[in-house]
Amino acid sequence: MDRMRLTILAAGAAVALAFVVFRPRRGNAAMPQEGAPAPNFQGMMVYEGYTRPIKLSDYKGSKLVLYFYPKDNTPGCTKEACAFRDGFKKFKAAGVYILGCSVDSAPSHAAFIKKYNLPFPLLLDPDKKIATAYGAAKGIPILGLNRRITFVIDEHGKIVKVYPRVDPSTNPGEILSAYGATPLATSSPLATPAPTATPAKHRHHVEQEEEPDQ
């Protein structure tokens, strides 16, 4: 009888542990919703072979696609990055910036960008503060990786679209269809050149040629 009771208790404990480990997790219950101000952030990014400072306010006056993904060089994340790369010319023409974010290191981001010729920056978030603010942290808790989620932020820093369930192959095309035909809004009556990948203030006086259109 005691042996049977121990067996039942062990089986129950195993089921409970499996539920805790493998049940779907939300990165953050307070994930910002459409219409809310985008959570502010500042940190570092990898772009054009350099690690540079970045903050959300750098993109004021332009639309920004901020997408969170689990890990560099994995199949789904590579598909997603390359899809953004392939649509980059149209995003650029519409004045829409693209910024990816994962928990990977600067060398990992640099290698990923170089390998696939990505023309946009990748945000560094080693402590997951940015991912937590956007509800993207702990998407794969056992590995400590982000969930895959995409935000579109408008010229005034407001979230206009959230994609909480992302198909990495098709989501860039969805965003391009919805926002790629909208011209860049500016507060100045003067013509504003379409961006290359990041606002000019990111270049830090480093003269580099513009990336080839994909």
Return the bridge partners of 128, or none.
none
How buried is residue 15: exposed, middle or buried, by Cβ count under 10 Å (0-12/13-18/19+)?
exposed
What is the distance between the alpha carbons of residues 89 and 143, in angstroms, rounded to a whole number? 34
List 77, 81, 98, 122, catalytic entry? 77
Residue 77 annotated as catalytic: yes
Q: How do 63-68 and 96-102 pair as beta strands? A: parallel
Instruction: For the chain, list the strands marked E by DSSP.
Output: 42-47, 50-55, 63-68, 96-102, 122-124, 149-153, 159-163
How buried is residue 65: exposed, middle or buried, by Cβ count under 10 Å (0-12/13-18/19+)?
buried
Catalytic site positions: 77
